[in-house]
Structure 1
Amino acid sequence: MKTLFIILLIYIAFKYLARLFAPFLMKKMAEKMQQKAEQQFGGKKTQPIVKEGETIIDKNPQKNQQSSNDVGEYVDFEEVD
């Protein structure tokens, strides 16, 4: 009877401690996984803070583009009955 009581007490203590420390352990595991992923894929890429309504253009358009009227061949389609 004493052995059964000890086993039950250990089970309840383990269950209580698991609920107490599980969030902390999960947070640490998630941080480790995030660090591994950052190392594997080149680290953090932070985006600059942009105010609402502000527009940012990453690259300038090419200025030497010339429009050509000779874009393609004109095809005249006819209806087939």
Structure 2
Amino acid sequence: MRTDEAITLVVAARTGAELFGVDAPARRYRELVAALHPDRLGAADDRVRAAATDAFVQVTSWWRAGRGGPARHRTARPRRLPARPARVRR
């Protein structure tokens, strides 16, 4: 997917569900992120970079909202180990 196509899709969408669809939402998300990510824009002019960055932020916001929010993207919390009884020396 080209950057201009991705920008057009994001601007036209009203919701994340409309943008990602129901058949393969993860695939659509990856395609959009690949086309819009600021590090992949190379020598694009400033207007395209700004529009792509805005679209990228919108895509990631809708994706996180549809996936239960940013908490699902955090690293796992360390597990608490059960308390051990004190060792008795003989």
Q: Which has the higher contact order (CA 8 A, sep 6+)?
A: 2
Give the TM-score, by structure 2 length: 0.29
The TM-score normalised by the length of structure 1 is 0.32
Greater helix proportion: 2
Larger Rg: 1
